[in-house]
């Protein structure tokens, strides 16, 4: 799950500044802290550190780290929300950057072909050839920032800025499980067949989520991911 603030609530309690995190209320028991600054690894490392601190808080029932944010869910509705905001900001200010020691995952990809339904549009948007798009995608090294959206889905950071492509206004209704996709400045692999607003440029057959396994999700925050061009059909 990646937390999204409830826009119908008076949700922004502390506004973001260049140096300070922002905190939004989601319902009555949940608070979303979002890191200030750029969407980058430095911000995510502090989120990982803050998550470790929050695990020591006995009044929390769940902690959900996301993409440069973390959702803290309390067991009970706090009597003093302002005090909660102060605690969270203090914890953030005192969080030291940490790096998670993860494994390296190589994902074989069939670039192009029948599943690369959005590759032509990406070429038009970027001005790059299909071959250059494919090359820039597989030459990059990615880090798993967080899991969410669907079981085992990893949000990957490290996409070349030239491959930026906004998510679709109208999602594809039945994108296939295994499609290698781009959404904004992120990339990933579809875990389920169904509606999807990301843009497909290829396909990966690797099974990355097994509900019967002791560790169902192949990816974990901190892992390094490389896409390997198994086949290129342009």
> What pLDDT digit, counting tens, does each position of 114-173 carry?
999 999 999 999 999 999 999 999 999 999 999 988 999 999 999 999 999 999 999 999
Evaluate whether 2 touches 146 at the Cβ level (below 8 Å): yes
pLDDT of 87 > 90? The answer is yes
Same domain, 55 and 151: no
Show the domain range for 24. 12-93
Q: For residue 16, what pLDDT band results from cuts at 50, 70 and 90?
A: very low
The tally of CA atoms less than 13 A away on the side-chain side of residue 223 is 20
pLDDT at 186: 94
Per DSSP bridges, beta strands 179-183 and 199-203 are antiparallel
In a domain, 4, yes or no: no
- pLDDT per residue over 42-82, tens digit each? 999 999 999 999 999 999 999 999 999 999 999 999 999 99
For the chain, what is the domain count?
A: 2
Residues 190 and 109 in one domain: yes
Which H, E and C letters describe 30-75, residue by residue? EEEEECCCCCCHHHHHHHHHHHHHHCCCCCEEEEEECCCEEEEEEC
Res. 19 pLDDT band, cuts 50 70 90: low
Assess if residue 74 is contained within a domain: yes
Are residues 84 and 119 part of one domain? Answer: no
Please, is 141 exposed, middle or buried when counting C-beta atoms within 10 Å of its C-beta (0-12, 13-18, 19+)? Answer: exposed
Q: Are 225 and 147 in contact (CB under 8 A)?
A: no
What is the number of residues in the chain? 234
- The answer, yes or no, to whether residue 4 has pLDDT greater than 60, is no
Q: Rounded CA gap, 48 and 101, in Å?
A: 12
Question: pLDDT, tens digit, for every residue of 178-195?
Answer: 999 999 999 999 999 999
| Interior/surface letters 7-22, b for 16+ CB within 10 angstroms, e for the rest | eeeebebbeeeeeebb
Backbone CA torsion sign across 45, 50, 53, 55: negative
Residue 150 and residue 219 in one domain? yes
């Amino acid at each position: 799950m990646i937390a999204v603030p409830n826009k119908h609530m008076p949700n922004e309690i502390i506004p973001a500044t260049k140096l300070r995190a922002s905190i939004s209320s989601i319902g009555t028991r949940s608070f979303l802290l979002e890191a200030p600054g750029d969407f980058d690894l430095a911000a995510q490392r502090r989120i990982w550190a803050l998550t470790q601190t929050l695990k020591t808080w006995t009044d929390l029932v769940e902690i959900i780290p996301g993409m440069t944010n973390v959702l803290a869910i309390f067991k009970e509705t706090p009597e003093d929300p302002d005090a909660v905001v102060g605690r969270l900001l203090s914890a953030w200010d005192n969080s030291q950057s940490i790096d998670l020691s993860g494994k390296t995952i190589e994902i074989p990809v069939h670039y192009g072909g029948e599943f690369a339904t959005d590759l032509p549009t990406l070429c038009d948007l970027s001005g790059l050839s299909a071959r250059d798009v494919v090359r820039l995608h597989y030459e990059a090294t990615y880090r798993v920032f967080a899991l969410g959206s669907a079981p085992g889905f990893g949000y990957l950071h490290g996409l070349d800025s030239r491959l930026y492509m906004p998510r679709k206004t109208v999602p594809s209704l039945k994108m296939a499980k295994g499609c290698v996709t781009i959404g904004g400045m992120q990339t990933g692999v579809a875990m389920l067949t169904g509606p999807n607003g990301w843009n497909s440029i290829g396909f990966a057959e690797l099974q990355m989520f097994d509900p019967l396994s002791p560790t169902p999700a192949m990816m974990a925050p901190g892992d390094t991911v490389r896409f390997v061009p198994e086949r290129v059909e342009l």
